[in-house]
Amino acid sequence: MSSAANSQQLIAREYLPLRAKILEIGAALDRLERVGGDVSQHDGWRQLQQALEILQRCPADRAEQLLMHFSRPYQDRWRAEWGL
């Protein structure tokens, strides 16, 4: 099968599930806003906003980039610092 045929098949299959997931995100953000109050200073809220930007900005490896965004950093001197 050509890659063009493959891509047509894939988008046909992924369209509805992806549409549903994007709608879920929209509805959840609406829900948070409807409750009122200010969530803009909540760490989780800021992380989610930045994650949405990553989705828009990254041309590839989006899942990996998103996971890195949600991760604590690693520093390689930890063993020496802890005397292990």
Partner 1 sequence: MYYIDPHIHMVSRTTDDYETLAKMGCVAVSEPAFWAGYDRGSVAGFRDYFEQLTRFESQRAADYGILHTTWLCINAKEAENVTLSREVLAMLPEFLDRPGVLGIGEIGLNKNTRNEAIVFLEHLDLAMQTDEQLLIHTPHLEDKYQGTRMILQMLSDDRRIHRDRVLVDHVEEHTVRPVLEQGFWAGITLYPVSKCTPQRAVDIIELYGPERLLVNSAGDWGPSKPTAVPDFILEMRRRGHAEQAIRRVVYENPLEFFSQSRGFDFTPPVN
- The CA distances from residue 4 to 19, 36, 45, 61, in Å, are 22, 47, 39, 21
> Which of 22, 52, 55, 68 is the binder for partner 1 (CB under 8 A)?
68
* Residue numbers 17-56 binding partner 1 by CB under 8 A: none
Helix (H, G, I), strand (E, B) or coil at 71: coil
> Which of 4, 37, 71, 80 is the binder for partner 1 (CB under 8 A)?
71
* Closest to partner 1 by CB, 16 or 38: 16
Residue 79 near partner 1 by CB under 8 A: yes
Residue 4 near partner 1 by CB under 8 A: no
Cβ atoms of 31 and 49 closer than 8 Å: no
